[in-house]
């Protein structure tokens, strides 16, 4: 009877209004780029993580207890029953293209998302191009289709290539590939400078350690200012002001190395940088493929630094923060 009263009490709270709780929200899986062998699966393709979190903070449970002293329940009992009342799918993460459903044993399972339930945008903003050179109405449609091909060679090879409808990507010539890191280094440096300037106006993009590093670059009078520069000037500036570029290259690596933080960039971790660039920079895919020197389909911090022209002694894990 005591348990029934508590369940009724909690149900009343749910009807009365939302309670304070921390749900695990499924993060959007980043798009992937193709640096794969013909038959091997990516770690992202075979990994399904399940995350558990507290559904009710103890302080909130204690507050409920104070408001209902007559029920005489401990905060631990309230929290445990709240957890029991939740749909197990609320705490179960499925990879992109799958949704959680309860199986016959009431345990959460991941099944392919029905592409017909994906929202369709009339504009071009949501469209994406797959590595099969097919335009999909959205990333939801692409990954639902990929899931339907699970276990096949086509399914293993299908990934989000870039944002926007498919178009002809020009071939990247050797001299263009050599110029690509020149523009990327300059762009990374200028992105950090812009963030630092906005931080001075009250917007917090950088943490204290990052601001300390960027401040030195910002205040250096020798710094090449933002603008459209020819490749010769960018090459000379990198040689002349080499020290200015060391931290921006490490900073970008740190921004991407998040799932998990292990000093390696997987295909999906590179996507936030890569996918928007491909339609504008036709050497993007060949460049990142070239960075993977050992062909293990991951880019280590050392491979990343050397790909951007850093000397081996200047590639420091301590700068990845």
- 50 phi, psi to nearest 5 deg: -115, 125
Q: 11 in helix, strand or coil?
A: helix
Provide the token pair at 100.
């959680």
- Please give the mean pLDDT across all residues of the chain: 80
| Residue 219: CA count within 13 A, CB half-sphere | 6
Q: What is the pLDDT of residues 48-95, one digit of tens each?
A: 443 334 434 444 545 544 555 555 667 776 666 666 667 888 888 898
**Does the structure show a pLDDT above 80 at 269?**
yes
Please list the residues that pair with 299 across neighbouring strands: 265
**47-51, 61-65, 133-137, 234-238: least confident range:** 47-51
Residues 6+ apart with CB under 8 A from 265: 253, 256, 257, 298, 299, 300, 304
Can you give the pLDDT at residue 200?
Answer: 84
Q: Which domains does the chain have, with CATH numbers?
A: 2-28+49-90 (no CATH), 174-319 (1.10.238.10)
Can you give the pLDDT at residue 223?
Answer: 92
Candidates 252, 247, 276, 279; CA nearest to 265 is 252
The predicted model scores a pTM of 0.67
CA angle 182, 188, 189 (to 5 degrees): 95
**Does the structure show a pLDDT above 50 at 12?**
no
Q: How many CB atoms lie within 10 A of CB 234?
A: 17
Sign, Cα dihedral of 278, 280, 286, 287: negative
**Does the structure show a pLDDT above 60 at 296?**
yes
Contact 22, 57 (CB under 8 A): yes
Quickly state the pLDDT bin for 105 (edges 50, 70, 90).
Answer: confident
Can you give the pLDDT at residue 18?
Answer: 40
Please list the residues that pair with 273 across neighbouring strands: none
Helix axes 174-200, 284-291, angle to 10 degrees: 90
Can you give the pLDDT at residue 20?
Answer: 36
Q: How far is residue 176's CA from residue 282's CA, in Å, rounded to a whole number?
A: 9
Contact 188, 248 (CB under 8 A): yes
Mean pLDDT of the 173-199 span: 95
**Whether the bond into 214 is cis, omega within 30 of 0:** no
**DSSP per residue, 35-93:** ---SSPPPHHHH--------SS-HHHHHHHHHHTGGG---HHHHHHHHHHHS-GGGG--
**Does the structure show a pLDDT above 50 at 26?**
no
Q: What is the pLDDT of residues 197-230, one digit of tens each?
A: 999 888 889 999 999 999 999 999 899 999 999 9
Please list the residues that pair with 160 across neighbouring strands: 130
**77-86, 138-147, 239-248, 311-320: least confident range:** 77-86
Give the largest CA-CA distance in the chain: 81
**Does the structure show a pLDDT above 80 at 186?**
yes
Q: Where are the alpha helices (DSSP H) in the chain?
A: 2-16, 43-46, 58-67, 75-85, 139-148, 153-157, 174-200, 208-219, 231-240, 242-256, 267-277, 284-291, 301-307
Q: 122 in helix, strand or coil?
A: coil
Residues 6+ apart with CB under 8 A from 40: 156, 297
Mean pLDDT of the 242-249 span: 97
């Amino acid at each position: 009877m005591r348990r029934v009263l508590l369940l009724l009490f909690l149900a009343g709270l749910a009807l009365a209004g939302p309670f304070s709780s921390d749900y695990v929200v499924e993060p959007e899986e980043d798009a992937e780029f193709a640096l794969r062998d013909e038959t091997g699966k990516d770690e992202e393709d075979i990994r399904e993580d399940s995350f558990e979190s507290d559904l009710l903070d103890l302080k909130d449970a204690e507050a409920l207890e104070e408001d209902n002293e007559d029920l005489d329940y401990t905060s631990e009992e309230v929290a445990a029953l709240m957890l029991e009342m939740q749909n197990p799918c609320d705490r179960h993460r499925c990879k992109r293209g799958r949704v959680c459903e309860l199986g016959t044993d009431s345990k959460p399972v991941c099944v392919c998302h029905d592409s017909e339930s994906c929202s369709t945008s009339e504009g071009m903003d949501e469209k994406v191009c797959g590595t099969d050179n097919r335009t999909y109405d959205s990333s939801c449609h692409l990954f639902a289709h990929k899931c339907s091909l699970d276990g096949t060679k086509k399914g293993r090879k299908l990934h989000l290539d870039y944002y926007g409808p498919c178009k002809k990507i020009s071939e990247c010539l050797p001299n263009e590939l050599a110029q690509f890191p020149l523009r990327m280094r300059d762009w990374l440096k200028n992105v950090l400078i812009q963030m630092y300037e906005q931080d001075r106006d009250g917007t917090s993009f950088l943490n204290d350690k990052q601001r300390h590093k960027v401040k030195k670059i910002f205040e250096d009078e020798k710094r090449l200012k933002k603008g459209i520069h020819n490749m010769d000037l960018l090459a000379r500036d990198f040689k002349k002001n080499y020290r200015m570029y060391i931290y921006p290259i490490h900073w970008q690596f740190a921004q991407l190395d998040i799932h998990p933080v292990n000093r390696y960039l997987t295909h999906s971790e590179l996507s936030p940088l890569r996918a928007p660039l491909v339609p504008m920079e036709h050497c993007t895919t060949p460049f990142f493929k070239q960075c993977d020197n050992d062909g293990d389909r991951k880019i280590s911090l050392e491979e990343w630094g050397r790909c951007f022209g850093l000397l081996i002694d200047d590639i420091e894990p301590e700068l990845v923060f």
